[in-house]
Amino acid sequence: MEYVAAKSTFCRQCSRSFSPSAPKPGLKLKQGSGAAEELPFHRKVQNIWSRKKNRVVSCFECKRKHEVSDAASSTNCPGCSAHIDLRDYKITTSFSRTIRTRGDLYLTSKGDLRSTSVTCHSAIVEGKLRGDLECEDSMTISLVGKIPGRLGAHQMTVERESDIQCFRRVRVNHIDIRGRMSAEIIATGSVTIHKGGFLEGAVTAKSIAIEKGGMLSGQLVIGQANLTQGELLPEVKPAEKKSGSYIPLGAARPAHAT
């Protein structure tokens, strides 16, 4: 058997090359009894593309990583046996249950996500988000409104048509701002404000890039992305204790307690 459009092939026994021709109508090919049937090249290519692809997921509890099939909807951690949800969620109406999955989340423009905590692999946010959202990979925001919960992602993108106000601290590795955003950002990597982008608030990052036409209004700290707001103050070493009491000349002496 050979691909019908093949111009040349080779013999599976003696490896000699020859030009194939279509079999005559009604001719029956004899099936070999001992050797396994050799698959045509186009069948091999189809089998390669039809193979199920795998991906690596990490456990929510022990953080152990293992490989699962893309077609799987759930799995169990081989280390601690914890259940891991792998489903994708598309929110088109009001939704208030807690979501914790290694799949993706799509919050449509008509969706209203009221969950207090949402954890996923990546997310696209176009509707109302009232709780915390933590993404393992990427988060794309395209909405106009207020976000009262915490946001966290490896890569965050604020689209050009967005105008958001975040009341809680935003923690990311990298963030691209193309629209308008008001927030306090803690970035372990870079902050990029593209042309037409506007960022208002305190920014703590490893590096920042502002394209021509971009705007930043607020406090900026570069090179200390791992510090929180309270840790940005300079460290004050306690004074060494000396033996005996010392009172500066002219200072008021403390009165004894009665």
Number of other residues whose CB lies within 10 A of the CB of residue 154: 15
CA 190 – CA 155 distance, rounded (Å): 10
* Contact by Cβ (8 Å): 191, 175: yes
Terminal Cα distance for the chain, rounded: 109
pLDDT score of 215 = 94
CA distance 136 to 171: 12
For the chain, list residues with pLDDT below 50.
27, 29, 32-36, 225, 228-236, 241-252, 257-258
pLDDT value of residue 12 = 75
Chain CA centroid to CA 121, Å: 5
Closest CA relative to residue 188, chosen from 222, 226, 134, 151: 226
Positive or negative, the Cα torsion across 205, 207, 213, 218? positive
Among 128, 97, 98, 99, residue whose Cα is nearest residue 111:
128
SS3 147: strand
For the chain, the helix, strand and coil percentages under 3-state DSSP, each to the nearest 5 = 5, 40, 55
Distance of alpha carbon 227 from alpha carbon 128, whole angstroms:
30
CB-based contacts of 244-249 (< 8 A; 24+ apart in sequence): none
> What is the rounded distance in angstroms from the CA atom of residue 205 to the CA atom of residue 188?
6
Which residue, among 53, 123, 128, has the nearest Cα to 94 in the 3D structure?
128
Are residues 189 and 170 in contact, defined by beta-carbon separation less than 8 angstroms? no
Residue 102 near residue 87 (C-beta atoms within 8 A): no
pLDDT given at position 54: 83
Cα separation, 116 vs 95, in Å, equals 11
Q: Which ranges of the chain does DSSP label H, i.e. alpha helix?
A: 41-50
pLDDT tens string 14-37: 777 777 765 555 545 455 444 445
Q: State the Cα torsion 118-124-128-130 to the nearest 10°.
A: 20
Residue 52, pLDDT score: 56
